[in-house]
Structure 1
């Protein structure tokens, strides 16, 4: 179902109508997961297995970054530099060896 055809007036339906490219990207990821064409990976920051797909570019809907909810929210709303967090994690993992 395309975003324009939504009949309800919920916050979610309104978001989908306002962001059709993002909505289609989310649908593409869900379909690819079900079909086995895309496999969830651990959070690229902390390694958590409970993750969201993050799109850097909706023109490439299956090119996603896997982030746990905490880091996904931080990326969107806090503008947090995820690369520095990944680097800290790698340094911590290396020091444990």
Structure 2
């Protein structure tokens, strides 16, 4: 009988990232998925935006991880020749509070 150290349920973005990292560290990993294709459930319904952390308070842990994650994903795409586009984002403040937040 084969021994499996890690079982990942779900072949979406997080499940596959976890499987890749665990395999890199030498663990035997199996990923199971209920859909016929990878990334076909929750991960297929995201906005496909690489977040810059602008919605979180400056110097917060969430902002830090957004900025760091953005750097890492662009480097990953470059290293593995994954095409992407930096097209920017238009943010419209719909009230004074949001306008002040984005100005600061």
Sort the TM-score into its range (normalised by shorter chain). under 0.3
| TM-score of the two chains, using structure 2 as the length reference | 0.26
